Amino acid sequence: MDDLVYLYGLIPMKEAAETSIPAVKGFDGKRDLYTIPIGNITAIVCNLDSQEYSEESIKERINNDMEWLQEKAFHHHETVMKLSKIFTIIPLKFCTLYNNQGSLETAVQTNETKMLAAFDLITGNEEWNLKIYSDDSLLKKQVSQNNPTIEAKRAEISQLPKGKQFFEKKKLDKLVDSELEEEKNKVSEKIHKHLKEFALKGNVKKTWSNDVTGRKDNMTWNSVYLISETKVEEFLEQIQQFEKDMKEKGWQFEATGPWPAYHFSSLS
Partner 1 sequence: MASLPLFQPFISEGENMSLRETIENKDIALIDILDVILDKGVAIKADLVISIAGVDLVYLDLRLLIASVESLVQAQQGNRKAVSSEQFDRQREELIDATGQPNKWKN
**CB 83, CB 43: distance < 8 Å:** no
| 117 contacts partner 1 (rule: CB under 8 A) | no
β-pairing, 4-12 vs 34-38, is unpaired
Look up residue 100 and give its DSSP letter.
Answer: S
- From the list 1, 93, 148, 248, which residue makes contact with partner 1 (rule: CB under 8 A)? 93
| 225 contacts partner 1 (rule: CB under 8 A) | no
| 110 contacts partner 1 (rule: CB under 8 A) | yes
β-pairing, 251-259 vs 218-228, is unpaired
Residue type, 43: A
| 212 contacts partner 1 (rule: CB under 8 A) | yes
Look up residue 19 and give its DSSP letter.
Answer: S
Site for partner 1 in 2-21 (CB under 8 A): 4, 7, 15
Nearest to 53 by CA among 14, 98, 88: 98
| 215 contacts partner 1 (rule: CB under 8 A) | yes
| 111 contacts partner 1 (rule: CB under 8 A) | yes
Provide the minimum distance between the beta carbon of 55 and partner 1 in the complex, in angstroms, as a whole number: 5
Site for partner 1 in 182-211 (CB under 8 A): 205-206, 208-209, 211
Q: How many residues bind partner 1 (CB under 8 A)?
A: 78
Candidates 139-147, 156-164, 166-174, 250-258; binding stretch for partner 1 (CB under 8 A): 250-258
Residue type, 54: S
Candidates 153-161, 162-170, 186-194, 234-242; binding stretch for partner 1 (CB under 8 A): 234-242
- From the list 134, 147, 222, 223, which residue makes contact with partner 1 (rule: CB under 8 A)? 222
Q: Kindly give the interhelix angle for 162-196 and 232-246, rounded to the nearest 10 degrees.
A: 160
Nearest to 8 by CA among 40, 29, 31, 34: 34
Provide the minimum distance between the beta carbon of 19 and partner 1 in the complex, in angstroms, as a whole number: 8
Residue 133-172 contact track with partner 1, rule CB under 8 A, x = bound: ----------------------------------------
Q: Which is nearer to partner 1, 61 or 196 (CB)?
A: 61
Site for partner 1 in 54-73 (CB under 8 A): 55, 58-59, 62, 66-67, 69-71, 73
Q: What is the DSSP string of 121-135?
A: HHTTEEEEEEEEEE-
CA distance 251 to 132: 7
Provide the minimum distance between the beta carbon of 69 and partner 1 in the complex, in angstroms, as a whole number: 8
CA distance 262 to 115: 13
- By the 10 Å C-beta count (0-12 exposed, 13-18 middle, 19+ buried), 102 is classed as exposed
**CB 69, CB 62: distance < 8 Å:** yes
| 252 contacts partner 1 (rule: CB under 8 A) | no
